[in-house]
Amino acid sequence: MSVRISYLFVILVWSTTPLGIVWSSETISPTLSVFLRMVIALILAAFFVAFANIRVPWTRLSCLQYLYSAFGIVGGMLLSYLAAQTVPSGVISLVFGLAPFFSGILGYKLLGEAKFTPVKIVALGLALVGLYLICVAQLQELEIAPAGLIYVFLAVCSFSLSGVLIKRVPVIVHPMATTFGALVFVTPILATVWWFADGHFEPQLWETKSIWATVYLGVFGSLLGFLAYFHVLQKLPAGTVALTTLITPGFAISLGAWLNNEQLTATLLVGAVIVLSSLGLFQFGDKWLGKKPLFKQKEMVK
């Protein structure tokens, strides 16, 4: 598959995933919903690996890559599901838009990537202003509990750290093998979390919308989404992959307002515009201004 097609598919999936998470956990507990999603993805991945005769290596480095991938899935997904109990899908996508900033900071510390230029520092400052306005809109105007926003913030941290850690592993594994390997680690972890946090299995209470949302997330949001994500992550820098978060929030906010009647306040919209503008400045500001990075790259951390 072309890396461009994979990149576009990631954008499509990530634009619809926040709303899918909200819907899937409306009548299914969040821990069970994310666990079922991974079970669906794991079963399909196992069939795909067997049918396509894809070799899944289990060397120390390969397992380390799977473990780092699993860390991002467990932290990013589980915390997002918990956040979705109170936080609108559009806001979840917006906060995830901060991933390039975290990826840039972690990339400098762990991968020896370029240190932030003054332009990027200004962009980070603007992003924090936008995040503040988003939090004000959620906490004061919409009276949403702060715990949900904390969950989203931690989910973004997990997602960003996972992407950077994967880059540190000097091994190339087929994207589907990486997806399958990560799911092998993830599924029992999420099963354990569900069992101890909830432990209830009552399908008679599930609404059709939640069921179909879970199936969609299992097939597209997990299996095919992870496959495309790991594909572009192998081919492109972590910061470039995180650039998708510049595009997806607008779609996610629109879908949430249109299909889920999520309320959009003036403060929230202003915060969203500032965050997206800061992301554009962060990614393209130096090029627009014709500047070169002012700091030399550190040596690659082994």
pLDDT at 299: 44
More confident residue, 212 or 263: 212
Residues 6+ apart with CB under 8 A from 254: 90
- Percent of residues, the chain, with pLDDT higher than 90: 41
Distance CA 222, CA 14 (A): 10
Distance CA 29, CA 35 (A): 10
The answer to the question of residue 300 being in a domain is no
Residue 212 has pLDDT above 90, yes or no: yes
- Per-residue pLDDT, averaged over 10-32, amounts to 92
- Specify the number of domains making up the chain: 1
pLDDT band at 204 (very low <50, low <70, confident <90, very high): very high
CB 77 within 8 Å of CB 225: no
**Range of lowest pLDDT (23-27, 108-112, 160-164, 195-199):** 108-112
- Per-residue pLDDT, averaged over 90-96, amounts to 87
The answer to the question of residue 298 being in a domain is no
The answer to the question of residue 295 being in a domain is no
Residue 231 has pLDDT above 90, yes or no: no
Q: Can you spell out the DSSP letters for 203-240?
A: GGG--HHHHHHHHHIIIIIIIIHHHHHHHHHHHS-HHH
Distance CA 197, CA 258 (A): 33
Residue 284 has pLDDT above 80, yes or no: no
CB 148 within 8 Å of CB 135: no
Q: Please tell me the pTM assigned to this model.
A: 0.82
How high is the mean pLDDT of the chain?
86
What is the span of the domain harbouring residue 185? 3-288
The answer to the question of residue 302 being in a domain is no
The answer to the question of residue 138 being in a domain is yes
More confident residue, 301 or 4: 4
Distance CA 128, CA 81 (A): 24
Q: What is the pLDDT of residues 28-49, one digit of tens each?
A: 999 999 999 999 999 999 999 9
The answer to the question of residue 158 being in a domain is yes
pLDDT at 173: 86
Residues 6+ apart with CB under 8 A from 128: none
- Backbone φ and ψ for 187, nearest 5 degrees, come out as -55, -50
The answer to the question of residue 293 being in a domain is no
The answer to the question of residue 299 being in a domain is no
pLDDT at 254: 87
